[in-house]
Amino acid sequence: MLDNLLILVQAPTITVDLVLNGILVGAIFALAAYGMALVWGVMNIINIAQGEFVMLGGYVAVIMSAHGVHPLLAVPVAAVLLFGLGWLLYRTVIFRIVERDLFTSILATFGISIVLQQLMNTVFGGDVQVAQAHLGTLLLMGGMVTLAQIKLLSFALAAVLAVVLVLFLRRSRLGQAIRATAQNARAARVLGIDTDRVYAATFGLNAALCGACGALVAMAYTVHPYIGLPYTIRSFMIVIVAGLGNLAGVIAAGLSLGAAENVAGFVLGTQYQLAFVFLLLVVVLVWRNWRLARKRQYLK
């Protein structure tokens, strides 16, 4: 651990490399997290299958690239397919639990996540899959900082998607209906908004976002059936830190998480990278709770 820190001190360019690469992957985290915030805020559902949607998007890219289609095309295709899946899941399962407590939604979506994971594992096997985008790598600072073009591209795409999403929610009728439902579902219903349709669209939209993320993950990293849970946990953590309905916060938290995770993996060793993510979650939650407790004390 100490010698790793020493490397960082001796070669500051490495630090730059770690942080930049972390920020690039952080954009993907932020996108998935925004989807989670949307579903949580609008439908009051915590979707544990978030990471599995990412994984499915990844497999769309893998399959397409295996059939000779350029995997970049998989980004929109995965989004459309996953939107369909999200819609379907809402119509079959989720609509039954929308009005129930959060724990029910956690457990039910946990079940869905297991089904999706195992389904992919049974169909495609448990091994890593990749989609080759055949893009080069950008070398900076005498080759010490390497940024794969696909990561840069996925960062840009994530940014574009975020902008499109915001415009959609602000400008379109459906987007406005979604926001109205988030604020007060009953009032929205009174005003003639078909909240059931809004919920279905929201859940589909979230799945579509995750699907797009997944296609990017398959090109920049690797996918296998079990990559889901860490993405779910990261999304959850980002939403807690940023708060619901705070896009700027989600982006900031997502990018920082990416950077922090990458540096932690370097310093602590790759094998502790996941443990770091999960322990960070616990720390964030305890910290949040402590802050709330102090606030309550204050009020008393």
Partner 1 sequence: MLHHRTLALAAVAALGLTTAPVFAQAGDTITLGAAVSLTGKYSTNGGHTQKGYDLAVKKINDAGGVKVGGKTYKIEVRYYDDESTPARGAELAERLIQQDGIKFLLGPYSSGMTKAIAPVTEQHKVPMVEANGASRSLFTNNYKYLFAILSTSEKYLASAVTLAAENAEALGKKPSEMKVALAFENDNFSQDVRAGVLEDLKKNNMKVVIDDELPRDLNDMSATLTKVKALKPDMLVVSGHSKGAATAIRQLDQMQIHVPILAMTHCDAAGIIKKFGKAASYTLCGTQWAPSLTYSDKLFGTAADFAKEFDKAYGYEPPYQAAESAAAVEVYANAFERAGSLDPQKVRDALASTDMMTFYGAIKFDDTGKNIAKPMALYQVLDGKYEVVAPSKFAQTKAVVPAPTD
Partner 2 sequence: MSDAHKKLAGRLAILAVGLAAPFLFPAYQSQMAELWLFVVFALTWDLAGGQMGYNSFGNVVFLGIGMYACVLTQVGLLYDIGIYNGARGGGSATFVFDLPHYLEGLALGLPVGALLAALAAAVLGAFVLGMRGHYFAICTLGLGVAAGEVANSWEWIGAGSGMVPPTPPQVIGDLSRFYYYFAFALAAVTFLVLGWLYRTRFGLAINAIRDDEDKAEAMGLQTTRIKVAAWVIAAVFLGVSGGILGNLKRFIDPIDTAFSGATFGVWMVLMAILGGKGTLWGPVIGAVLFEVIKEATWTYLLGWQRVALGLLIVIIVVFFPQGILGWLRERFPDRFGRRVEADLSGTAEETAR
Our CB check for partner 1 shows the closer of 87 and 266 to be: 266
Structure tokens at 173: 């009728």
108 binds, among partner 2, partner 1, none (CB under 5 to 8 A by kind): partner 2
Residue pair 3/210 in contact by the 8 Å Cβ criterion: no
What does DSSP say about strands 137-140 and 145-148: parallel, antiparallel, or unpaired? antiparallel
Q: Distance (Å, rounded) from C-alpha 154 to C-alpha 151?
A: 5
Among 10-18, 103-111, 177-185, 253-261, the segment contacting partner 2 (CB under 8 A): 103-111
Our CB check for partner 2 shows the closer of 122 and 184 to be: 122
**If binding is defined by CB under 8 A, does position 124 make contact with partner 2?**
no
Structure tokens at 175: 């987007």
Q: Distance (Å, rounded) from C-alpha 254 to C-alpha 263?
A: 14
Residue pair 37/31 in contact by the 8 Å Cβ criterion: no
| Contact footprint for partner 1 (CB under 8 A) | 4, 7, 11, 14, 17-18, 21, 25, 118, 121-122, 125-128, 130, 132, 137, 139, 143-144, 146, 148, 150-151, 220-224, 226-227, 230, 262, 265-266, 269-274
Our CB check for partner 1 shows the closer of 11 and 191 to be: 11
97 binds, among partner 1, partner 2, none (CB under 5 to 8 A by kind): partner 2
Q: Distance (Å, rounded) from C-alpha 9 to C-alpha 3?
A: 10
CA-CA-CA-CA dihedral for 217, 219, 220, 224, to nearest 10: 50
Q: How far is CA 197 from CA 32, 101, 189, 192, in A?
A: 22, 20, 11, 12
Residue pair 61/180 in contact by the 8 Å Cβ criterion: no
Our CB check for partner 2 shows the closer of 6 and 282 to be: 282
**If binding is defined by CB under 8 A, does position 243 make contact with partner 2?**
no
Q: Taking CB under 8 A as the criterion, which residues in 262-291 touch partner 2? A: 269, 271-272, 274-275, 278-279, 281-282, 285-286, 288-290
Residue position matching structure tokens 């938290």: 253
Residue position matching structure tokens 């849970």: 229
**If binding is defined by CB under 8 A, does position 36 make contact with partner 2?**
no
DSSP string for 143-205: TTEEEEHHHHHHHHHHHHHHHHHHHHHHHSHHHHHHHHHHH-HHHHHHTT--HHHHHHHHHHH
Our CB check for partner 1 shows the closer of 137 and 183 to be: 137
Binding mask 200-239 toward partner 2 (x if CB under 8 A, else -) reads -----------------------------x---x--x---
168 binds, among partner 2, partner 1, none (CB under 5 to 8 A by kind): none
Q: Distance (Å, rounded) from C-alpha 45 to C-alpha 234?
A: 16
Our CB check for partner 1 shows the closer of 14 and 193 to be: 14
Our CB check for partner 1 shows the closer of 125 and 243 to be: 125
Which chain residues interact with partner 2 by CB under 8 A? 46, 93, 96-97, 100-104, 106-108, 110-119, 121-122, 229, 233, 236, 240, 269, 271-272, 274-275, 278-279, 281-282, 285-286, 288-290, 293
